[in-house]
Amino acid sequence: MYAILIHGGAGVVRPEAMRGADLRRREAALRAALAAGEAVLAVGGAALDAAQAAVLVLEDDPGFNAGRGAVLTRDGRVELDAAVMDGRSGRAGAVAGVRRLKNPVLAARAVLEASPHVLLVGAGADAFGLAQGLAPAPPRWFRTAARVRQLAALRAADPAATALDHDGKHGTVGAVALDAHGGLAAATSTGGVANKLRGRVGDSPLIGAGTYADARVAVSCTGQGEAFIRAVAAHALAARLRYTGQDVEAAAAAVLAEIGAAGGDGGLIALDAQGSAALPFNTAGMYRGWLRAGEAAQIRIGP
Ligand code: ASP
């Protein structure tokens, strides 16, 4: 038995996103991410490798707010955050504010594998990734015309407002996987929120906030990062399983309800060691997909 869940961000979903070529392109990207994860799981590979493989596909797709095509800071830069966590070993790696590495999720994995640390930020994270032999990318690789337009429109409406996937483009990406040996893992990658201040870090690279995995459950969140940080959302979900005996669906719903009650928008994906899944969100939509061994991949965008 193995399973994988992915998300491509929660937020506004434009009606056009729900039909035609646009919809097919989105679905194809999510399917490709699931297939990349399944290719690892089907041959007995580790959950961590599967979650990473799925996120890698979405980082390279310019439609998602991660890697290429990420949202821009207030001063028009890209600052990328990512994290991975292996539930079996409890090891984790993360980077925040990286600007020069093509795939932040690989940098997070390198922090896990090749450093004594959990989180590296900014220039130090970039330098570490490059020293580990990760592929560099120039600013023009990340910066798409759509994101430049998005930032201009946002700033024209309100120079100080940040936006969660404001124009309906896909959002942050994440994956959680259960491998055939019972191991769980989570991976998340994001450009953050559009028009963010330089140096702002969201929930995604913070272990326990936007990303978490232990022996019981793996979690990846998407939404207004500040709300997920305050709720320590991903760990709160895991703690509910551990201490209250709630199942993954009830725990996920309770955490999201708490975030909603505090005014936060977003969603999350969670997968337990038995393969039970929860994919709740309190926004108009969340790009998401799931696949269990022997079953066809499922993709959803709207409610
Ligand atoms: N959670 C991400 C952040 O605040 C944004 C998103 O999920 O789209 O950085």
DSSP 210-273: TEEE-SSEEEEEEE-HHHHHHTTHHHHHHHIIIII---HHHHHHHHHHHHHHTT--EEEEEEET
Give the list of residues 6+ apart from residue 46 with CB closer than 8 angstroms, or none: 40, 86, 179, 181, 183, 185
Instruction: Please tell me the distance between residue 228's alpha carbon and the centre of ligand 1 in angstroms.
Output: 9
pLDDT reported for residue 113: 98
Q: Is the CB of 202 under 6 A from ligand 1?
A: yes
Instruction: Please tell me the distance between residue 201's alpha carbon and the centre of ligand 1 in angstroms.
Output: 9
Convert the pLDDT of each residue in 229-253 to its tens digit: 999 999 999 999 999 999 999 999 9
H or E stretch covering 287: strand 285-292
pLDDT reported for residue 148: 81
DSSP string, 118-148: SEEEHHHHHHHHHHTTPPB--HHHH--HHHH
Residue 15 in this model has a pLDDT that exceeds 90: no
Residue 110 in this model has a pLDDT that exceeds 70: yes
User: How confident is the model over 115-140, as a mean pLDDT?
Assistant: 96
Q: How far apart are CA 64 and CA 8, in angstroms?
A: 7
Residue 165 in this model has a pLDDT that exceeds 80: no
User: How confident is the model over 258-281, as a mean pLDDT?
Assistant: 96
State the pairing for strand pair 3-11/173-178.
antiparallel
Q: How far apart are CA 130 and CA 48, in angstroms?
A: 22
Rg, C-alpha atoms of the chain: 17
pLDDT reported for residue 140: 86
Convert the pLDDT of each residue in 177-205 to its tens digit: 999 999 999 999 999 998 899 999 999 99
Q: How far apart are CA 10 and CA 194, in angstroms?
A: 14
Q: How far apart are CA 24 and CA 17, in angstroms?
A: 9
User: How confident is the model over 14-38, as a mean pLDDT?
Assistant: 84
pLDDT reported for residue 78: 93
pLDDT reported for residue 166: 42
Mean pLDDT of the chain: 92
Residue 168 in this model has a pLDDT that exceeds 60: no
User: How confident is the model over 8-29, as a mean pLDDT?
Assistant: 77
Domains and CATH numbers, the chain: 3-300 (3.60.20.30)
Q: How far apart are CA 105 and CA 95, in angstroms?
A: 8
Instruction: Please tell me the distance between residue 164's alpha carbon and the centre of ligand 1 in angstroms.
Output: 7
User: Which has the closest alpha carbon to 95: 224, 231, 211?
Assistant: 211
Residue 134 in this model has a pLDDT that exceeds 80: yes
Q: Is the CB of 193 under 6 A from ligand 1?
A: yes
Q: Which atom of ligand 1 is nearest to the CA of 223?
A: 7
pLDDT reported for residue 127: 98
> Which residue among 55, 172, 212 has the greatest number of ligand 1 atoms within 8 angstroms of its CB, and so is best to mutate?
172
Convert the pLDDT of each residue in 205-221 to its tens digit: 999 999 999 999 999 99
> Which residue among 190, 195, 219, 230 has the greatest number of ligand 1 atoms within 8 angstroms of its CB, and so is best to mutate?
190
Q: Could you give the residue numbers annotated as active site?
A: 172
